[in-house]
Amino acid sequence: MQGNPCRFYWGDLLERWRADGRLFQQLLARRRAHIQANLQQAAGQRPLFASQGELDALFNAADELADGHPLLVSWGKQGRDHQALLADLAPQEYEAFADIEPSGLLQRLQADMLDLLDRSRPEAEPFCLRPEDDSLQVRGCHSPMREVEVLHDALLARLAADETLQPRDILVMVADINAYSPFIQAVFGAAQGSRWLPFAISDRSAQQESPLLQSLLTLLRLPQLRCSAPELLSLLAVPAIQAALGLDEAALAALQAWVQEAGVRWGLDETDGARFELNRMPGNTWQHGLERMLLGFAMAGADPLADISPYGEVEGQDGVLLGQLALFVERLRRLRQTLPEARPLTAWRELLDDLLLAFYAPDEAGGGGAGPGAPGVGRAGAPAGGGGLRRAPVTGGDPGLPHRGPGRTPP
């Protein structure tokens, strides 16, 4: 069954409008040529249109350009394209249109689209709008957050006014549910008492549902990223990556402060500028920031060494935390060097297994931190969260990606 707002064929509305534009351009061009030649249009001259019917089809009874319903023309591109494709297939059609009683403005609009009527035309019968009619409302809001707040208040008012209406009877549709999901969670999820409404968000992408999956896609896009401070710090905020490095919220807050105060902006090292057609970057990279932190930890209060100014806020046991940050950045650098290489499918599977071993704690990679029922990250070719994946300690040894050779299993 295919939903259709109009009982008549409207798949050619835009194409007809474009064709009309071409015809009028021809009209203007020929008129310009006549003026330049100082000619009068004479009998027997080539007509501007092939037939009188072609000209009459462009206008309605009021001699105005007829485009059909303006909402179908301006907002119905996807529907028009779909209708055109269905018409090309010549399917067997069964019409099940029901007449709409125009009891309010919304119903009047739906009825006009159903019959392909443009009520903005002078010959159209006017529709009297009742002052109490609130079937169609347009609200101006300064932000998506405010839009959701206004929606929440409007739903509460509608439910209070109609005792037969239940929350399960209400469907709210938006153009981009992924963009609005955080605001819906913030407004509807924080409501309490009489303002609480049961709600569920559907049709979100798997990436939006799972921060874990989003972090994996970010790692796979490393060669295209600038590796800015917010991008990499957002990876460290993923619980599975935190657990792999032995971090907690307090450690993450300390790392964020160090990165900001050490002047890290973007780029893993000074060669990243060339990757984006810029000059070499001697400062404000992750390498430069780590060198400042390590120098400050080893030589607190020392003068600049080799044009590197020590960052002296890392002391004592903080050195372990700094080492974990350096390990994380080094693994990112090696992964970025490895990803662009061409390899067969089996090699890609091994690379993904090594990536999971290097960056994620297995207990978390099965879906921890992503919410109940959210997609998790498991071994390549195995169900998410399964496969008995275990992980070697992150301290000591080669700081790069742990390699799982042929015929070997992860330690």
Look up residue 259 and give its two tokens. 């990165």
Of residues 280 and 387, more confidently modeled: 280
Residue 47 pLDDT > 50, yes or no? no
For the chain, what is the mean pLDDT? 77
Say if residue 195's pLDDT is above 90.
yes
Q: Is the pLDDT of residue 232 over 50?
A: yes
Give tens-digit pLDDT for 271-288: 888 888 888 877 889 999
The tens digit of pLDDT for each residue in 179-191 reads 888 899 899 998 9
Q: Is the pLDDT of residue 150 over 90?
A: yes
Report the pLDDT value the prediction gives residue 82, as an integer from 0 to 100: 80
Output 380 or 127, whichever has higher pLDDT. 127
pLDDT band at 335 (very low <50, low <70, confident <90, very high): very high
Q: Is the pLDDT of residue 235 over 50?
A: yes
Quote the pLDDT of residue 392. 40
Least confident window among 9-18, 26-35, 207-216, 384-393: 384-393
What fold does the segment set 219-365 form as a domain?
Answer: PCRA; domain 4 (1.10.486)
Residue 409 pLDDT: 38
Residue intervals in the chain for CATH 1.10.486.10:
219-365
Q: Is the pLDDT of residue 407 over 50?
A: no
Q: How confident is the model at residue 386 (pLDDT cuts 50, 70, 90)?
A: very low
Region 387-401: what's the mean pLDDT? 42
67 falls in which pLDDT band (50, 70, 90)?
Answer: low
Query: Does residue 333 register a pLDDT over 90?
Result: yes
